[in-house]
Structure formats: C-alpha cells, structure tokens
Amino acid sequence: MQSNYTMLMKPQRILLLLLAIFIFCCVFLLDGLSIRLPSIHDQTEAIVLWTSFGFSLLTALIFLLVCQNVLFYARNRSVVLRFLGFSLSMLATFGTLNYICTSPWLSLLNIFSLISALIFLSNLFFSFPDPPSLLAPARGSSSRVAGKPLFVRVLIRSYLWLLSISGTGLSVFAIGVTFRFDSLMYWLQVGKWSYCLFGLTGSLLIFMVAYRQSAHERARQQLLLLGCGLLVTLMPFLFFSVAPHLLGLHGFSDKLALISLCLFPLLSSCAILRYQLCMFDTLLLKILALFFRLAFLDILMYLVVGIGRFLFPVYAVEHNYIYVFCIICSITVFSPFVWWAGMVFTRRCFFSEIVQARRLLDEPGLLTDDVNSIDKAVDAIASAATRILQSTQLCIFVYDEISGQFELYPELVQWIEGPSRYTLLATVAEAFHIPIATAHRLDSHLFALQRLVQVKRPLLLSEIPPDQASGHHPLARFFIQSSPLSSKDCLLTAIRAQGKMIGLLVLGPRVNGLPYAGADLEIAHLLVERFSMVLETARLYARVVQHTSLLNSLYNMSIIPDSAFKTVKEAAMTYAMAVAVSTSSAAEIWLYDKQQKELCLEATIGYGPRLLPLTRLTNLQAADWRSHFYAGTTVALNGNGSHPSSSLPLCLPVVPACPFAWLPLHKSEQYTGVLVITYAHSHVFFDEETRVLEMFASQCLSTLDNVQMTMELRAAYKRQKELDQLKDQFITTASHELRTPLTTVVGYIELLDQYHEKLEASSRSEFIEKARRGCDELNLLMSNILDASLVNLDVEAVYLRPIALHTTVSYVLEIMDAILAREQRPVSVRIADDLFVDADDARLQQILLNLLSNALKYSAAGSPIEIFATSLQDQVIVNIKDYGLGVPPEEQQRLFERFVRLERDINSPVRGAGLGLFICRCLLEAMGGRIWIESSGVVGDGSLVSFALQLAPRI
C-alpha cells in the first residue's frame, strides 16, 4: 500500500498553507483598517460598505479553503504550485476590491494580484491535467510531441512570456500613474481591462488547444470541467455587466456580477481532484447541474427582460403591469426547457463517461432470459465489466447463506484459465491476510468485507487497512489518499440486493493501464446495481434446486420397498449415501445398543469430515434424543456469532471441529439410533432445510424399523422351519426308537403265544424277561419325552442345597453297575470327598445318568470312562471323558437343542430321541450352571462333556 494521509502532509505543503493564511490575514487586516468609519454619515452607506467587505472576505475565504484541499490532496506538484499562486492572487484581488478603499497601496496590490492571477491561470491551463502523462500522444501517433504539436507548444510558451512581460509593464505603468501621473488613470483602467481580456482569451485558447491534443478521455473531462467552469462563472459578468455597457443598456454592478466568480475555485478544485474524489458522480452531477441551471435561469431572466425593454420600451413605462405579467409568463414558459438544458449540458459536458456506461448497460441484449444459474449470472456480470470497465482480470464472489462465506464463481481451474484470475486471487489473499489455498472462500467476518458493508461505495484495495486496529482517516470517505495512485490497484465493489451484500466484484488492472478513480466508482456501482437482482434470482434458484434435490432424494428413498434391504446395515448405508449426495456432505448412522445403552457407528460415507474419531458414544441423556443443528463459530455480516456449544448433544466428549446436524431416530421410547450429517465448510441451517432433514430422518427411522422387523420375521420364519424340520426329525427318530423295543416285545409275545406249550420253562421265563426289558426301555424313552415337555415346569420346582458330589456320582455308578459290568467298562473317578455343590440331588442324578448313558452309547465296549472334578474360584467343574466317536466342532452347540441328533447317529443302531443333552442344559441353567462339549471330532479321541455348578460350603 502507498503512503497514507499523514505522509502526504509534507513540511513544504504545511509551510505553503501557513503562508496562504498569513497573506489572507494581512490583506483583510489592511482592508479593514483602510475603512474610514468617521467619514461615513449614512447608515445605508455603512451597510453597503460592510456587505461589500463581507462579500470580499467570503470569496477570499473560499479560495483559501479550496487551496488547502488542493494543496494536501493533489498529486502533481506543478499543478499544485500554479493553483496555489492563482488562489492567493485571487484572494488578494477580492480582498482589495472594496470600492470605498482609497489607499493607493491597496489599489496597486489589486492590480498586481490580478495580473499574477491571469499569469498563473494561463500556466495552469498549460500544465493541466494531472498527471501530465495523460496528455501524452496516443500510441502510434507521430504528429504530436509531448502531447502537443511542437509549433503549438512554442506559440503557447511565447504567449506566456508575452503575458508575463506585458503584465510587468502594466505593473510599472500602474506604479507611475498611482504616485506621479494621476491624469493617466483612465488609460490605466483601459490597460487593466485590456490585459484581463488578453489573459482570459489566451487562457481559453490554451484550454481549447489542450482539449484537442488530449489523448485520453479522463484528461478531456478534467479540462472541460476547468475550462467550462471558467466560462460559466464569467458568463454572468459578461451578460450582466460587460454586454449591457457595450450595448448601452442598464447593467448590474460589477461586484454583483462577479458573485458567480466565487464558484470558480470549487469547480477548479473538482477538476484537479476529479479522479481522486471518493464519491459517486451522481452527487457531483447534482451539485454542478444545480449551479448551471441557476446560471442559465439568470441569463434567461436577463435576456427576457433586456429583449422586452428593447422591443417594447413603451409598454415597459406606460403599461408596467402588463409588461411585468408578460415577462413572468415568458420566463415561466422557458424555465422548464432551461432547467432541462442545464442538466443535459452538465451531463454531456462533464460526465460523458457515465452517459456512455448507462447506454451500454441499457442495451437490450445485455441480459437474456436464460440466466437461471449462478454461473450464468456471474458470466453476464463478467462480460459487462470487461466491456465497460475494460478490466483484464476480475473475480466474482457470491455469498452463500448456508456456509456463511463468499465463494468464487466459477471455480478456479488454473491449468485451463491460465494465471490471470489466479494472480488477482493471490493479490486479494495477500491484502486480506489469508492463505491463497483458502482464498476461493472468503469468510463474511473479514474486516475488508465489513468495511465494504459500512462504506456503501466501491473501495480500492489500497484503501482497506490491514485490520480494524489500523483505522482510517475521516476524510477517506471523500478522497483517495494513497499516493501515487497505482495503475495495478484493484477495485472492490459490493453487490447488494434487498439491503444485504450478496456478492463481491473484484476488478484487476485495466487494459488501458489507467487506475480506477472518479467515474469508475459510479460505473462499477451502476454495473452491480444492474445485475444485482439477476444474481439474487440465480442464488434463490440455486437454493430451490438444492432444496428440490433434497426432496427428490426423500421421495426416491420412499419408493424403495423395505424388502429390498436384506440387513439394517445395508439400509443404513443406502440412506447415508442418499443424504450425503443430496447435501454434498458426509453422513453417519449410529445404531443404539439396548443392552450396553450406547451408540455404535454403523455406516459412514460421503465427502466431509468425521464427527468424532470414535465408534461408540456412551453416557446418553434425554437431551441427546432431540435434534441439534450446530453451525460452528461462524460470524454473519452483522457481526453476531453463535456460542460454540449452544446446540451440542451432551453425549459428545469434545466439541466437533465441523458443522453438523444431529437427527435422532426414535419413536416414543423406542430408540433406534442417530443420523449425523457433517459439512466440510461453514454451514448455516435454515428452517426449511431443518424440516426436510427431520423428515428424512423420520423416513430413515421407519425404514430401519421395518427392516429390523422384517429381519426378525425372517428369523422367526427360519426358526419355525427349523422347528418343523426338528419335529419331522423327532417323529422319524421317535418312530425308529419306539419301533425297536416294541418289535422286540411283540416278537417275544408272538413266540410265547405260538410256542407256549412247546417251550421249556426256562425259555418262557427268558422270553418274558426280554419282553419286560423292552417294555422298560419303551417306558424310559417315553419318560424322556415327557421330561422334555415338562422341563420348564421342573425348573420351577428345583430345590438347591449342598450336595456331596462324590456320593452322588457313586450312587449313579451303582445304578449302572450291571451295564458297566456287561460291557466291561473301567470307570475312573477322581473327585474329592469334601467337594460339595449347590444343586438339586434328584436332578443332578438325572444329569449324570444321561451323560453316562451317552458316554456308553457312543463309545466302544471295553473303552474306559473318566469322571473327575475340579474347583475353580466359586465354581466346581465336573468332567466326563469317553474315547468314542467324538463330536465335530461345528455340531457341538446344536446338540443342546431339542430333538437334535447327529446325522450319522440317526441311521446307526444307537437309539435315542435327541433329548438327553437338552434336558441336561435346561436343568443346569435352572441350578445356575452351564454345560459344554470339547471334542476334536476325530474317532477314538472321544468327547469331554463338562458342566459347572456353584461351589457349596462343606456340611
């Protein structure tokens, strides 16, 4: 950034200002002292005297104040010095203009100041405008040297020398006339006015030459404002004083006619500071138009009155009322035309840039009907800015309410676009003190953007202080204070609609190399004003499209049948993907574990950050089952921010680093889970968005519940089919098991019936015994089936008490002693005598009988059986080991179900109903124990069946 306001106030300029103030005070002190109050006897004469003195004082004060502004803000030193000399000369001229003043010294000072004012004015026209490079010839032109033809420059310099020499001669002549040759006073006045005419005519000729030789529009605008300002301020004097004297008509007083001349310093300062004024040209146009309108009205009134007196002198005397009425009617008729002409004249002469820009902006083809997207609206703005402001680089940022940021449109693709926009973006990032990597997204709380909102006008990049602490000078509202004005400076223009800032237009260097100033601010404002509603419509359309996309996703998910999802995870992943795609974010679904009372991460997908680097969330509270929308710590354009933890679920251990939506999936007290949507950038949640997201969560809940219910129904149906298979298997097994003893009984009974008399007594007794055994076996089988059906009732009747384990095992072995002896089975028992368990004695015997029966059934005769027990903390582990067929590992758990037998055993001679292990499991669970099998499934290794019971104290 260039030097600021304080650095511009150099000591030399301060000294010049003090000199101007000193001259002002001295002149009016002398003028006031020269008034001879004792010689004034008439009160009216005193009023006229002091009124004349006040007019001179006011005019001189205006020149002093304008000189101060130009002195401190104009950049061209030569222009500043010439304007300073002209202003001081005019200050002295008006300060000594009092006609009652009879001091010869003040009369001479008046002549000297008038001569110097004309000399400085001519030199000002010659060196103007600022900077001199604007008067350089156009590229490729060979007929101009330093902005003017050589002979014209020589002629103008010769005129300036002649003006200076003649002014010196007139000064010497004035001294002689004042102090020695009083009779030549008339010729002194003739020479004075002739010199004025010569000086003004030469100044106007220099103005016309400079205007024709100017190569740039800006220089012409400044020259027009200066030259036409001189003409218009002199016009009342010419019409009201000079012309009447030449035509022999009645004229106004010279002082009264020169009142308009006090406005020339204002116009000249506007011309010099034309492209340093930081205000819209509309305001300046209104001020100048008002002045020219009033001047034209004065001329109209004088012309009407003069022509009326010239054409109808009799009516002016004899019919005064009719004459006055006609004059008033004529002025009334022509006044609107003159008023309109004053505005047209001002606009055409001094603000042609604005007129041309308005004409380009009003072209019918500038806007088309198909601007229905932000990219198209931005493209239209860029095309118009390139054409009207001739900018080689530009960036357009559009405000996104959802993220609270200004996003660059279109997206920057450097390898396609080249370095143009990237270079401008880097410049903006450096000025805003942000990384270039994030410059495509500008946070709304940046001080530069807040400054744009406050100023209400386009700003140069060099005008923006680095931070709020740096501040800015109060006059920065009206003047560009950086010096020199860089042609590489950027222009920042806020795009507003409905009272809020919706975009930012950043204009880079121009094609013609000229800096942004003056009328460019108005043109940029007109440009964004023309396209603001187009961009706002595109923004609203984009929001509608996004909202519609979310609704379409909701609808598309609603038409998917729940039967399409096989698992809850598949449904959760599908819904997470749908919401992530429609919101351009990441989605997570956490399912509720009812047993652990915690949330478990089930699905995560999408572009965006994770909520937390965790897979489980505990410490759930009632507030966590309400919707939460966390927008982070973003600050809106009005400066209001949200508290970072004002809308956070209580179960989160830390504050997430990203905005998110927390949408619980629950109905009444039935908790299913939580849908979480996380965003990579800042995000602001609007009411319509939250409503749609909650609708989406409700639909997701319904689908997950339906899928869960469907899965449970499928599992129940599968279980029912398994039960049907088990029933069929039981019927097959039971019929097979029942048929064998029944066939034996029937066979022996038939033998006894047919051969009763032929059989010996011992044979009949043997047949009867075998038939009885078959009946007992059949009775045992039916008892097991009955026990299986009544096991739940038996569980309720279990009576637990301390049981000596060794005693119970010995009793069961005595019951099975005949079978063990017949099969020659060695049984090894390793159980301590003092080992007691907490169990029901009868049920424990039934468990041991079933387990020993299985060990005998599924192991070869003569193979050993081992029974041993160990105590482990507060439990006793009882183990029964055989060396039979074994059980495959994948089938071990199924054996404890009802009616389950291994497929190999169904077709084997070993009989069974598949109820023994099931009964053992149920009885052990009723007594607070458990049972399991350990086996490799290899024949010969056998099986180790173990069960655990609570350890009881010794009785």
DSSP structure class, residue 261? G
Please report which confidence band the pLDDT of residue 880 belongs to, taking 50, 70 and 90 as the band edges: very high
% of the chain exceeding 70 in pLDDT: 75
Q: Which of 258-267, 586-595, 743-752 ranks highest by mean pLDDT?
A: 586-595
| CA atoms in the 13 A half-sphere facing the CB of 451 | 23
Q: Is the dihedral of CA 130, 135, 140, 145 positive or negative?
A: negative
CA distances from 278 to 178, 456, 480, 519, 926 (A): 49, 11, 6, 9, 94
3-state secondary structure of 666: strand
Mean pLDDT, to the nearest integer, of 149-165? 80
| pLDDT (0 to 100) of residue 675 | 92
Q: What is the pLDDT of residues 451-473, one digit of tens each?
A: 888 877 888 887 776 555 444 54
Quote the CA–CA distance of 883 and 860 in Å, as a whole number.
8
| pLDDT (0 to 100) of residue 72 | 66
- Residue, of 356 and 883, whose pLDDT is higher: 883
| pLDDT (0 to 100) of residue 474 | 46
- Residue, of 162 and 608, whose pLDDT is higher: 162
Mean pLDDT, to the nearest integer, of 832-857? 87
Residue 954 clears pLDDT 80, i.e. is over it: no
| pLDDT (0 to 100) of residue 637 | 45
Residue 191 clears pLDDT 50, i.e. is over it: yes
Backbone angles phi, psi at 191, to 5 degrees: -65, -35
Residue 845 clears pLDDT 70, i.e. is over it: yes
Total residues belonging to the chain: 955
Residues ≥6 apart with Cβ < 8 Å to 486: 2, 462, 515
Q: What is the pLDDT of residues 558-584, one digit of tens each?
A: 777 777 788 888 888 888 888 888 888
Q: Where are the alpha helices (DSSP H) in 396-518?
A: 414-417, 419-432, 447-455
- Residue, of 667 and 179, whose pLDDT is higher: 667
Q: What is the pLDDT of residues 378-411, one digit of tens each?
A: 888 888 888 888 887 889 999 988 777 898 988 8
3-state secondary structure of 745: helix
Q: What is the pLDDT of residues 704-749, one digit of tens each?
A: 888 888 888 888 888 888 777 767 766 666 666 666 667 777 777 8
Residues ≥6 apart with Cβ < 8 Å to 184: 173, 176, 177
Mean pLDDT, rounded, of the chain: 76
Residue 5 clears pLDDT 50, i.e. is over it: no
| pLDDT (0 to 100) of residue 485 | 43
Residue 512 clears pLDDT 80, i.e. is over it: no
518, with CB counted inside 10 A (0-12, 13-18, 19+), is buried
Please report which confidence band the pLDDT of residue 482 belongs to, taking 50, 70 and 90 as the band edges: very low
Residue 614 clears pLDDT 80, i.e. is over it: yes
Please report which confidence band the pLDDT of residue 199 belongs to, taking 50, 70 and 90 as the band edges: confident
- Residue, of 386 and 794, whose pLDDT is higher: 386
Residue 315 clears pLDDT 70, i.e. is over it: no
Quote the CA–CA distance of 271 and 221 in Å, as a whole number.
8
Q: Which of 105-119, 481-495, 610-624 ranks highest by mean pLDDT?
A: 610-624
The answer to whether 284 and 269 are in contact (CB under 8 A) is no
Q: 184: which 2 tokens?
A: 């030549």
Q: What is the pLDDT of residues 80-102, one digit of tens each?
A: 778 778 877 877 777 676 544 45
Q: 727: which 2 tokens?
A: 């029933």
% of the chain exceeding 90 in pLDDT: 6
Range from 28-42, 47-61, 554-568, 681-695 carrying the lowest mean pLDDT: 28-42
| pLDDT (0 to 100) of residue 644 | 41
Mean pLDDT, to the nearest integer, of 498-505? 88
Smallest CA-to-CA distance from 63 within 11, 24, 115 is with: 24
Q: 62: which 2 tokens?
A: 């205006």
Peptide bond into 410 cis (omega under 30): yes
Mean pLDDT, to the nearest integer, of 237-244? 68
DSSP structure class, residue 238? I
Residue 21 clears pLDDT 50, i.e. is over it: yes
Residue 949 clears pLDDT 90, i.e. is over it: yes
| pLDDT (0 to 100) of residue 676 | 92
Q: Which of 280-294, 413-427, 879-893 ranks highest by mean pLDDT?
A: 879-893
Q: At what angle do helices 352-361 and 519-558 cross, to 10 degrees?
A: 20
Residue that is written with structure tokens 């005070």 in the block: 25
Residue that is written with structure tokens 């006055």 in the block: 324
Instruction: Order the strands of the 500-507 sheet from edge to edge.
Output: 441-443, 405-409, 394-400, 500-507, 491-497, 459-460
| pLDDT (0 to 100) of residue 906 | 57
Q: What is the pLDDT of residues 290-299, one digit of tens each?
A: 877 887 887 7
- E strand or H helix at 540, and its extent? helix 519-558
3-state secondary structure of 324: helix
| pLDDT (0 to 100) of residue 139 | 41
- Residue, of 575 and 253, whose pLDDT is higher: 575
Please report which confidence band the pLDDT of residue 43 belongs to, taking 50, 70 and 90 as the band edges: low
Peptide bond into 131 cis (omega under 30): yes
Quote the CA–CA distance of 891 and 872 in Å, as a whole number.
27
Mean pLDDT, to the nearest integer, of 204-223? 78
Mean pLDDT, to the nearest integer, of 673-689? 84
3-state secondary structure of 811: helix
| pLDDT (0 to 100) of residue 879 | 93
End-to-end, the C-alpha distance of the chain in Å comes to 100
| pLDDT (0 to 100) of residue 369 | 59
Residue 852 clears pLDDT 50, i.e. is over it: yes
Residue 201 clears pLDDT 80, i.e. is over it: yes
| pLDDT (0 to 100) of residue 257 | 58
| pLDDT (0 to 100) of residue 401 | 80
Residue 302 clears pLDDT 50, i.e. is over it: yes
Residue 9 clears pLDDT 60, i.e. is over it: no
Please report which confidence band the pLDDT of residue 607 belongs to, taking 50, 70 and 90 as the band edges: confident
Quote the CA–CA distance of 219 and 128 in Å, as a whole number.
8
Which DSSP string do the residues of 704-722 spell out, in sequence order?
Answer: HHHHHHHHHHHHHHHHHHH
- Residue, of 545 and 278, whose pLDDT is higher: 545
Backbone angles phi, psi at 396, to 5 degrees: -125, 120
- pTM of the predicted model, to two decimals? 0.61
The CA-CA-CA angle for residues 603, 696, 686, to 5°, reads 110
Domains of the chain: 5-278 (1.20.1070), 281-350 (no CATH), 363-547 (3.30.450.40), 560-789 (3.30.450.40), 791-952 (3.30.565.10)
Residues paired with 598 in a beta bridge: 593
